[in-house]
Amino acid sequence: MNISFLGWVGACDPMKLGGTESITRRLATGLSRTGHTVAVTMYGADENRTLTDFFGDHLILQYHRSFSDALKGLSKLKCDIVVEVYIHKRYYPKYLAFKKRNKKVVKFFTIFMTGADSSTKRWLRKTFRAMFCSTVFAVSPNLVDELKHDGVRAVWLPPPVPDCYFSASLRRPKHKVVISFLGRIDPNKGLYELSSVFDALSRSNQVTCRIRGYYIADDAKSVELHKRLGALAAVDYSAERHCSYHYDPGKEQDVLRYLSETDILVLPYKNLKKTLNLPLLVLEGLATECVVISRDVGAIRQIVGSAELIIRDFDELREKVQRFSSFEILQAERTRIKSLDLFSTFATTKVVDKLTRYF
């Protein structure tokens, strides 16, 4: 089959880092490896160009300046399947007309990765995106419930995690418990509160506290937080300046190695702005048998599967981290994580298999 993912370049470009970009990349490459010809067709790019050799012959990246050009690109590809990832609402009528014209020869799908933040936006997204659509996917169970509440027939398509994350074996017996954070240097990630906890905990000889991520150079709050974290003498901190085109296969291996060396992954999100409703890092941490401590936002509590790992407020953060730093409790929690059989739900090959069953 000829399959194309369609969306705004700022949300679904496989050559960029980010949650929606990673999902698009993993689904597209997974489908191409099963023999399908796959394209990621994007609008909003600086120039019209095509990239065909980065991910392999069966995956084509098409960059278009305008949404109209992107639709023309889809027509030239003679797609059997079009999967909408993210389209600005001003283009809904034009895309709706395109779907109506092509509904007899193309099957249309859409993926919801985040919730809507107003009743008007929610109505527009649910109504226009679901019309002439074979199946509506959502990346978390609570997004499925939200869509069903609005009258949309939706199914859960779990965010894909590379299969190799589930067989990571880099962790070694050690004398210290390694507690880590990974991600964007952003106050919404709860990093101000986490920095105080890490600063206190890292004075102990029993733990090592690490923070890795990237900061946004033109975001004053991100830069301020970057400087604050860099001044924590006892915390192992490293962050790169964000680069729009940053993806290379080695980066995914770096993330895998970092998580495989981590015992406790702390992700104390204040909210999920600019983040998937079910954050990939939560899943990647669980896949590598990290004990994930987070807050009750999005679908995190449901997937983590233990109320003991959810903090209600930041006053609980230090107590939770200290408690799970016990080697006995840590090992018991790892045993529980293994029993969840996350591979069958979140491994990329399994998610791609589920997706193709709808095609």
CATH of the domain at 242: 3.40.50.2000
| Cβ contact 327:311 at 8 Å | no
Identify whether 65 is part of a domain: yes
Identify whether 352 is part of a domain: no
d(CA 234, CA 241): 22
Average pLDDT over residues 225-245: 86
pLDDT of residue 204: 74
Look at residue 315 and tell me whether its pLDDT is greater than 70. yes
Q: For tokens 């933040």, name the residue.
A: 117
Q: Which of 78-87, 142-151, 200-209, 311-320 has the highest mean pLDDT?
A: 78-87
Look at residue 7 and tell me whether its pLDDT is greater than 60. yes
Closest by Cα among 204, 181, 184, 190 to 258:
181
Among 63-67, 121-125, 223-227, 309-313, whose mean pLDDT is lowest? 121-125
Q: Are residues 300 and 196 in the same domain?
A: yes
Identify whether 73 is part of a domain: yes
| Counted domains in the chain | 2
Identify whether 25 is part of a domain: yes
pLDDT of residue 305: 84
Q: What is the pLDDT of residues 35-56, one digit of tens each?
A: 999 999 999 999 999 988 888 7
Q: Are residues 175 and 149 in the same domain?
A: no
Does the pTM exceed 0.75?
A: yes
* pLDDT cut 90: percent of the chain above it: 60
Confidence grade of residue 325 (pLDDT, cut at 50, 70, 90): confident
Q: Are residues 136 and 172 in the same domain?
A: no
Confidence grade of residue 130 (pLDDT, cut at 50, 70, 90): confident
Average pLDDT over residues 59-68: 96
d(CA 340, CA 350): 15
Look at residue 172 and tell me whether its pLDDT is greater than 70. no
3-state SS class at 85: strand
Mean pLDDT for the chain? 89
Find the distance separating the first CA and the last CA of the chain, reported in whole Å: 9
Identify whether 351 is part of a domain: no
d(CA 42, CA 30): 19
pLDDT of residue 21: 93
Which residue range is the domain that position 61 belongs to?
Answer: 2-157
Confidence grade of residue 153 (pLDDT, cut at 50, 70, 90): confident
Give the residue from 157, 180, 212 where a domain finishes.
157
d(CA 41, CA 48): 11
Identify whether 350 is part of a domain: no
Confidence grade of residue 117 (pLDDT, cut at 50, 70, 90): low
